Amino acid sequence: MFLKSRTIKFFLIYYAALLIWLGTTAMHIPDGYLSPLTCLIMFLIVLPFWVIGIRKIRETMNARSVPLIALLSAFSFVIMMFNFPVPGGTTAHAIGATIAAIILGPEAATIVVSIALIIQAFFFGDGGITALGANSFNMAVTVPYISYAIYRAFSKNQPLTSPRRLVGAAIGGWTGVTVAAFFAGVEFGIQPLLFKSANGTPLYAPYPLSISIPAMVIPHAILASVAEGLLAALVVAYLQRSNIAVLQAAEKPAVLSEVGIWQKLRVPLIILIALIVATPLGLLAPGTAWGEWGTEQLASQGLSFIPSGLEKLSGLWGAPLAGYNLRALGNASLGYLLSAVLGIVVVTIVVWLFTMLITAGGKTRERKNS
């Protein structure tokens, strides 16, 4: 519409987004950004993870679990307050979900981080109460499961003092928070598509996916994800040096789960795939990118997309790239920037799936990773 302001608007967004995330806590979505329907769906998505977590805690820790979970939740809360220096001259807040997952396993870590989030929301007004489902999904489910899968893939059959564990913790923490930021971006981005007033005014978070995803993913990939990964790796290094017993104790539930990490991750994975396939997102994601060119295109796409989940998945990733090719933007560097973001997201997900495959197929050695 207004070509001249187009470049300006992108600078505005990136500048604002970077500013905001420089000083703030990772990704606590406040009340008011997400529609009630989104909040409800996010609660429903998180619910099975809470059930799995509580069941797991009961199985493995029984009566002892109450003080253990309480103390570790308090630990997670305190960790979220630390200003962790990241390379490049600023600080960011880690979530501590990676450490919790390494020590307790992802199921229990979900409960630990969720409790820290609930206390932040209910007693300190940090992060929304209605957005608790979304925040728990992003920070208490996504981060622990992803970071743990990667950490396990790297540390499998490795001695407790192996440096590979540090690499696993670092990559795991970074990937976990980056993917969580991506999900937060998706949650923000579907708001203007689904919830507008009659004249098209967005009622909640106003930015479409094409803006909200890079605005969440880029600053996190540079700051909060780095903080999470570095902190996790340094804590593991510290434990290796001076308190190996904690890591040793952490191996026990992990050894148990080694038998069926695929079974363990199957449920979340199915939910994740269902999330991508079943929500209107799959249809609406190409909608934003192509909407500027024509609606009949969208309609035909929408129809052809429904049958196969795989095609939809590729459409989901491909569409924003197609929408923001260099021509459309008229600015090469911005195009590169956006492609880079998409690259990060795609690589992240590929790495995640890859590590999960490695961990699942027990025979495969991790050498493939290097």
Specify the stretch interacting with other proteins by CB under 8 A; choose among 198-206, 252-260, 269-277, 339-347.
Answer: 198-206
Count Cβ neighbours within 10 Å for each residue of 178-200 and write b for 16 or more, e otherwise: bbbbbbbbbbbbbbbbbbeeeee
Residue 325 interacts with other proteins (CB under 8 A): yes or no: no
Closest CA to 132 of 124, 140, 276: 140
Task: Using CB under 8 A, pick the residue from 43, 60, 75, 276 that binds other proteins.
Answer: 75
327, two tokens: 């021509």
Q: Name which of 73 and 136 has its Cβ closer to other proteins.
A: 73
Residue 160 interacts with other proteins (CB under 8 A): yes or no: no
Q: Name which of 197 and 370 has its Cβ closer to other proteins.
A: 197
Task: Using CB under 8 A, pick the residue from 51, 78, 278, 299 that binds other proteins.
Answer: 78
Give the footprint of other proteins on residues 213-272 (CB under 8 A): 230-231, 234-235, 237-239, 242-243, 246
Place of tokens 């976990």: 176
Specify the stretch interacting with other proteins by CB under 8 A; choose among 112-120, 141-149, 156-164, 319-327.
Answer: 112-120
Residue 293 interacts with other proteins (CB under 8 A): yes or no: no
85 has which bridge partners? Answer: 91
Residue 69 interacts with other proteins (CB under 8 A): yes or no: yes
92 has which bridge partners? Answer: 84
CB of 10 to other proteins, least distance (A): 9
Q: Which helix (H) or strand (E) holds 37?
A: helix 36-61
Task: Using CB under 8 A, pick the residue from 44, 47, 51, 66 that binds other proteins.
Answer: 66
Q: Name which of 151 and 352 has its Cβ closer to other proteins.
A: 151
Q: What single-letter amino acid sits at 237?
A: A
Q: Name which of 201 and 304 has its Cβ closer to other proteins.
A: 201
Residue 47 interacts with other proteins (CB under 8 A): yes or no: no
Q: Name which of 73 and 138 has its Cβ closer to other proteins.
A: 73
Q: Are 166 and 237 in contact (CB under 8 A)?
A: yes
Give the footprint of other proteins on residues 176-195 (CB under 8 A): 192
Residue 64 interacts with other proteins (CB under 8 A): yes or no: yes
Residue 44 interacts with other proteins (CB under 8 A): yes or no: no
Report the distance separating Cα 142 and Cα 187, nearest Å: 14
Q: Are 93 and 224 in contact (CB under 8 A)?
A: yes
CB of 171 to other proteins, least distance (A): 17
Residue 85 interacts with other proteins (CB under 8 A): yes or no: yes
Burial of 237 from C-beta contacts in 10 A (0-12 / 13-18 / 19+): middle
Give the footprint of other proteins on residues 125-154 (CB under 8 A): 125, 128-130
**CA-CA distances (angstroms) from residue 187 to 134, 135, 191, 246?**
8, 10, 7, 36
What is the distance between the terminal CA atoms of the chain, rounded to a whole angstrom?
A: 48
CB of 367 to other proteins, least distance (A): 28
Q: What are phi and psi of 205, to 5 degrees?
A: -55, 130
Q: Name which of 26 and 358 has its Cβ closer to other proteins.
A: 26
CB of 39 to other proteins, least distance (A): 7
Q: Which helix (H) or strand (E) holds 2?
A: none
Residue 118 interacts with other proteins (CB under 8 A): yes or no: yes
Report the distance separating Cα 338 and Cα 342, nearest Å: 6
Q: What single-letter amino acid sits at 178?
A: T
Length of the chain: 370
Specify the stretch interacting with other proteins by CB under 8 A; choose among 79-87, 154-162, 282-290, 311-319.
Answer: 79-87
Closest CA to 217 of 178, 191, 189: 178
81, two tokens: 């307050």
Give the footprint of other proteins on residues 2-41 (CB under 8 A): 2, 4-5, 8-9, 12-13, 16-17, 19-20, 24, 30-36, 39
Q: Name which of 117 and 349 has its Cβ closer to other proteins.
A: 117
